[in-house]
Amino acid sequence: MKFISWILYVPLQLIALPICIFGMLLISYRQMLVSKRLGVSQTAIEVFNARWTLHIFGMRKDPGAAKLGSVLPNTSTLGLWLALFPLWCKAKIAGEAEIYPRRVNPGFETVMDLFTARTFYFDHIITRHIPLVRQFVMLGAGMDTRPYGTLNINNLNVFEIDLATTQRLKIESLSKAKLATDHVTFVPMDFARDALFERLGAGRYDRHQKTLFLWEGVTLYLPEATIHQTLVKVFNQSVAGSALVADFYSDRLVTKMKSRLGHKLLQYTQEAAQFSLNFDEAWEQKLRAFVQSTGFTLGETYFMGNQSPHGPFMVVAELVA
Ligand SMILES: C[S@@+](CC[C@H](N)C(=O)[O-])C[C@H]1O[C@@H](n2cnc3c(N)ncnc32)[C@H](O)[C@@H]1O
């Protein structure tokens, strides 16, 4: 069926090209211009779109994303469908998605797989911790819908932290999408300015409970001092058995991002890339040294793209308290 899927896909993609381009323009308009107008994160939408896509392609269940996508003002599910329809048809005929999104062996990821592969690695580490913890703290939660699907489970208290405007939009959109939020405490704050545990302490957060912290797709946009201080605070305030899972990006990727149009696009919503680590060589030792300097111990890691001659472009890492 893979062969037939290619034979049908190539002409379909060519015929549908103007429609796909129109879809992409619609997505970009909503993501960039509408996000800017609303004063909310556009990078959160980029990640959201990738997770919505995984759901639609049947590669990862995310019913919350399906519902939220239809009400978020700064994405376009119509645009996504128009852009992805030929790929979706190909995936359905072949029985698996091969181009985008796709499953890729660890180490062989390219930048095109960044959001999708990253999501699977985060899911893997989260799934291992969730039965062992009572609290799940999402640092820079964006439009992540994990708490409104797979993680809407008994006895798990969820805390969503994000900048106030982005969080306000999410709360409004969750309500429009009729997604239950009783198990979630929303904490608006800025990592660079506010005291994380003071903010958390004002809610249902219990510092004596084992907790999983998720910091997905955020360190890239923060200054090094903020990242280091936040990690040290989380380590100092966490009981043994707690963990934090985060991603860190390579100097090489961030330098490339800074020299391209991408940087201008990110600056447009004040989300320029900042923090990175040198993964040119001995990447595991470098990451371990950074993690240990915060008090944490390095656990499971996924160095994405590590089979490339240039080394990995990012890592998803488990930090154990
Ligand atoms: C790329 S998005 C990732 C969102 C989410 N973690 C996900 O995986 O879908 C980055 C998120 O970090 C948030 N963020 C960026 N800087 C922040 C800061 N200084 N304080 C709090 N949140 C911040 C943004 O508002 C945005 O929601």
- With vertex at residue 32, the alpha carbon angle to CA 31 and CA 34, rounded to the nearest 5 degrees, is 75
In this predicted structure, what is the pLDDT of residue 53?
98
Give the CA distances from residue 153 to residues 48, 131, 183, 305, in Å, rounded to whole numbers and listed in that order.
21, 10, 9, 34
Say whether 159 sits in a helix, a strand or coil: strand
Identity at 294, one-letter amino acid code: T
Ligand 1 atom with the smallest distance to the CA of 143 is 9
In this structure, which residue's CA is closest to atom 10 in ligand 1? Answer: 218
Q: Is 17 in the pocket of ligand 1 (CB under 6 A)?
A: no
Ligand 1 centre and the CA of 16: distance in Å? Answer: 34
Taking CA atoms only, the protein residue closest to ligand 1 atom 13 is 140
Residue type, 211: T
pLDDT score recorded for residue 39: 96
CB environment 236-249: b (16+ within 10 A), e (fewer): ebbeeebbbbbbbb
The Cα 231–Cα 235 span in angstroms is 6
Q: Does the beta carbon of 166 lie inside 6 Å of ligand 1?
A: yes
Total-model pTM: 0.95
pLDDT of residue 200: 92
Distances (CA, A) of 210 to 113, 135, 151, 237, 320: 32, 7, 16, 11, 11
Angstrom distance (rounded) from CA 260 to CA 225:
25
Q: Which residues of the chain have pLDDT under 50?
A: none
Atom of ligand 1 nearest to the CA of 214: 6
Which part of the chain has CATH 3.40.50.150? 111-320
What separation in Å is there between the alpha carbon of 94 and the centre of ligand 1?
Answer: 36
Spacing, Cα 104 to ligand 1 middle (Å): 26
Closest residue by Cα to atom 2, ligand 1, is 44
pLDDT at position 33, please? 95
What pLDDT sits at residue 257? 84
Pick the CATH number of 111-320 from 1.10.630.10, 3.40.50.150, 1.10.3470.10, 3.40.720.10: 3.40.50.150
Residues in Cβ contact with 275 at an 8 Å cutoff, skipping those fewer than 6 apart = 219, 220, 221, 222, 223, 224, 227, 248, 249, 254
Ligand 1 atom closest to Cα of 215?
Answer: 6
- For the chain, count helices (H), then strands (E): 13, 7
Quick one: pLDDT at residue 263? 72
Q: Ligand 1 pocket test: which of 221, 229, 270 has the largest number of ligand atoms within 8 Å of its C-beta? A: 221
Q: Is the CB of 47 under 6 A from ligand 1?
A: yes
64 lines ligand 1 (CB under 6 A): no
